[in-house]
């Protein structure tokens, strides 16, 4: 792995990807294909957003992503 790797920059790229999924339009498809596209977009957004919210650390060549999935405190 390159010594120039910056986990913070990786997190920013995932935030940008989540935003791009949120903003992208639907292609001109109908029926079941449309629903599959919508479902795939939801999963893509969820995955990118979760990693975009992660706290990343690089220690001794090990990348750790910490993602708090607990519900917000009431």
54-68 residue pLDDT tens? 999 999 989 999 999
Q: Crossing angle for the helix pair 7-23 and 32-52, nearest 10 degrees?
A: 150
Write the CB contacts of 56 (distance below 8 Å, at least 6 apart in sequence). 7, 8, 10, 11, 63, 64, 65, 66
pLDDT in tens, 11-61: 999 999 999 999 999 888 899 999 999 999 999 999 999 999 999 999 998
- Residue 26's pLDDT is what? 86
Residue pair 40/29 in contact (Cβ under 8 Å)? The answer is no
Write the CB contacts of 33 (distance below 8 Å, at least 6 apart in sequence). none
- Residue 3's pLDDT is what? 65
């Amino acid at each position: 792995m390159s010594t120039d790797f910056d986990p913070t920059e990786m997190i920013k790229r995932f935030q940008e990807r989540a935003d791009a999924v949120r903003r992208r339009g639907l292609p001109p498809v109908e029926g079941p294909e449309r629903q599959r596209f919508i479902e795939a977009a939801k999963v893509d957004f969820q995955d990118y957003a979760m990693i975009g919210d992660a706290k990343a650390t690089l220690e001794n060549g090990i990348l750790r992503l910490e993602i708090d999935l607990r519900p917000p405190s009431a």
